[in-house]
Structure 1
């Protein structure tokens, strides 16, 4: 996120980055209120998207289903659909809530891991798609994919405080995520009914 915010000066794109909640970001993009955003992979099929995404290498820790009553997460269409495809019943938990739960309790079914076990492919949660300025977005995407991921100290400290997690826990989580959506990962998206 820091890299993209530094290299994209378009305020509309910044709005999509700040909104955070996947369902809201999807809506802003679909309504044409932002030029580019990481949108849910299930909505990316007919959009202009490149090779930059948010992909679970295997497990992801931030998309869990907890035992109990079936309750969807209001913030994510993709994770709710994923739980149905995989026939995993329970309460869907995503993002910070799931991450904090994982490190505090070490339980829950990791939907990305379950997907990988079933299909043998990483799950693509989101792809960077754009409506305008395609050349600019492609240029930034290519630069990002060639850049080693780096988290500035002040951001790490802020996230540690916000989440109540240690530096090692945050780095462990980030090690689970890939950003390059190659053909194998793209094939994984095609297994998701739109």
Structure 2
């Protein structure tokens, strides 16, 4: 079972939960070796290099349609602190397809910044716009930034989701110190940040997710797809073949 891990502070509670969850040593070894940023995990999931993970909502659309998504996600109801827009020329963040799309949906202009880098920017009290806050002001609904999706082992991952949603996680002091050293963000600030995020997807969260998907359709914003990548690869191969044939 190959689980891909987002290496951000927003999943610290899940990391603590999964460490103590009864899984095979192979599962945990893969988990800690295979960690990256959301957009990279999107591709790994779509190309089935991983079986499951917290996938960006925009890339989890097809899992949502096929009922291959659990009731666990990365959610904020208002300010999120780690998905922001900087007052710079418009620029997408290579690490997150969902946040880039959210910026378009909200008709905002600026430089998208996500994850621990965004949190550090806010911690340093630099100018920014919180996109979670803008979404909530406009729709009065939570925003689901990512969702625990799977390609197989349905019962296993649904059980993990159920137990995680029911669990109250306390982050050990030694881990907070590690997070502080790694992120350069004060541990008390990290705890305040994590209060903005929750993980259980209920009716309102699903409604917010569906509203986001409807906006993507309305604005014709493309979702990450395995097909698109294969088509691009095929076109490059075809162009190369045509050049050789014309020589």
Matched residue, 1:143: 163
Deviations 1:57-116 (A, max 9, x none): 211000110112001101110011111110111111101110000010253100011000
Write the distance in 2 (CA, Å) between the matches of 1:134 and 1:172: 33
Matched residue, 1:14: 31
Closer, same or farther in 2 for the Cα pair 1:12/1:157, shift >3 Å?
Answer: closer
The RMSD of aligned alpha carbons is: 1.7
Matched residue, 2:199: 179
Tell me if the contact between 1:12 and 1:34 (Cα under 8 Å) persists in the aligned partners. Answer: no
Matched residue, 2:183: 163
- Where has structure 1 moved over 3 Å in runs of 4 or more? none
Counterpart selection for 2:121 from 101, 117, 133: 101
| Stretch moving more, 2-11 or 27-36 | 2-11
Matched residue, 2:39: 23
Write the distance in 2 (CA, Å) between the matches of 1:183 and 1:12: 35
TM-score for both structures, normalised by structure 1: 0.93
Matched residue, 2:73: 53
Tell me if the contact between 2:85 and 2:131 (Cα under 8 Å) persists in the aligned partners. Answer: yes
Count of paired positions:
193
**Equivalent position SS for 2:62:** coil
**Equivalent position SS for 1:84:** helix
Matched residue, 1:39: 55
Deviation at 1:13, TM superposition (A): 5.9
Question: Which residues of structure 2 form unaligned runs of 5+?
Answer: 1-14, 217-222, 224-247
Matched residue, 2:152: 132
Write the distance in 1 (CA, Å) between the matches of 2:145 and 2:48: 21
Closer, same or farther in 2 for the Cα pair 1:103/1:181, shift >3 Å?
Answer: same
Deviations 1:151-192 (A, max 9, x none): 122211100111112221000100000100111111111122
Tell me if the contact between 1:64 and 1:92 (Cα under 8 Å) persists in the aligned partners. Answer: yes
Closer, same or farther in 2 for the Cα pair 1:18/1:152, shift >3 Å?
Answer: farther
Matched, 1:191 2:211: yes
Matched, 1:119 2:124: no
TM-score for both structures, normalised by structure 2: 0.74
**Equivalent position SS for 1:43:** coil
Deviation at 1:18, TM superposition (A): 4.3
More helix, by proportion: 2
Write the distance in 2 (CA, Å) between the matches of 1:6 and 1:71: 40
